[in-house]
């Protein structure tokens, strides 16, 4: 148990403070940098800060689920998704730096909150836990879709990252469903939407 805690704590510190790695090449990484006005750069960097923040939360959710689940099959099946979340973290981080932006100052807070929520969801058993993951991934997918409307049209280096993340999140939702996710009550889904609105709203600025 103590080992688990130490490993978890180490993971948390690395997630929030160390650069993430990627196996797949960064989507759009070979495209030329677009001519962007200062306002466009700021907007793209702010949106990517929100997405980076979402990926910090995803790390916490997947880590919480791996710590709490007793089903080795489910744990293994979710490892691939968790690995892709780490890549998303790396891609958004890199793009924020390219755009001259910065990461959210509140990342430790978002991480801690998400870990707590993830561990709470896990208490209700694997079905609910997976349902929570599936619903989170669906909401993130919808959110990324809305970013494609707000990002500068010609900022392809940013857009390609968001497009690939959106594809991955949809696949993660499918994985959770395949593993036996239960459908959450509407009121829970609404509460999740409301809290993610707070996070995305704040992270756009801070």
Closest distance between Fe ion and the C-beta of residue 85, in Å? 5
DSSP category for residue 115: H
Closest distance between Fe ion and the C-beta of residue 62, in Å? 8
CA dist., res. 150 & res. 148, Å (int): 5
**Three-state secondary structure string covering 127-176:** HHHHHHHHHHHHHHHHHHHHHHHHCCCCCHHHHHHHHHHHHHHHHHHHHH
8 A C-beta contact, residue 62 and residue 176: no
Q: Which is nearer to Fe ion, 143 or 157 (CB)?
A: 143
Q: Which is nearer to Fe ion, 41 or 172 (CB)?
A: 172
Closest distance between Fe ion and the C-beta of residue 165, in Å? 5
Q: Which is nearer to Fe ion, 126 or 169 (CB)?
A: 169
Q: Which is nearer to Fe ion, 135 or 169 (CB)?
A: 169
Closest distance between Fe ion and the C-beta of residue 180, in Å? 18
Residue (of 170, 181, 188) closest to 71 by Cα position: 181
Binding region for Fe ion (CB under 5 A): 58, 85, 88, 137, 169, 172
């Amino acid at each position: 148990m103590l080992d688990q805690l130490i490993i978890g704590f180490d993971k948390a510190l690395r997630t929030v403070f160390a650069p993430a790695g990627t196996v797949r090449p960064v989507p759009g990484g070979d495209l030329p940098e677009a001519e962007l006005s200062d306002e466009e750069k700021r907007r793209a960097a702010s949106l990517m800060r929100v997405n980076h923040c979402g990926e910090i939360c995803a790390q916490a959710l997947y880590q919480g689920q791996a710590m709490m689940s007793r089903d080795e099959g489910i744990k293994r099946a979710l490892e691939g998704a968790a690995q892709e979340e780490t890549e998303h973290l790396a891609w958004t981080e890199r793009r924020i730096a390219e755009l001259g932006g910065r990461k959210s100052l509140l990342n430790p807070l978002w991480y801690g909150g998400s870990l707590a929520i993830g561990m709470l969801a896990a208490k209700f058993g694997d079905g609910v836990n997976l349902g929570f993951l599936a619903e989170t991934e669906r909401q993130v997918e919808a959110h990324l879709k809305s970013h494609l409307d707000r990002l500068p049209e010609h900022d392809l280096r940013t857009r390609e990252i968001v497009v690939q993340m959106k594809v991955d999140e949809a696949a993660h939702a499918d994985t959770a469903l395949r593993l036996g996710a239960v459908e959450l009550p509407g009121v829970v889904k609404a509460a999740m939407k409301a809290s993610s609105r707070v996070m995305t709203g704040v992270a756009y600025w801070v």
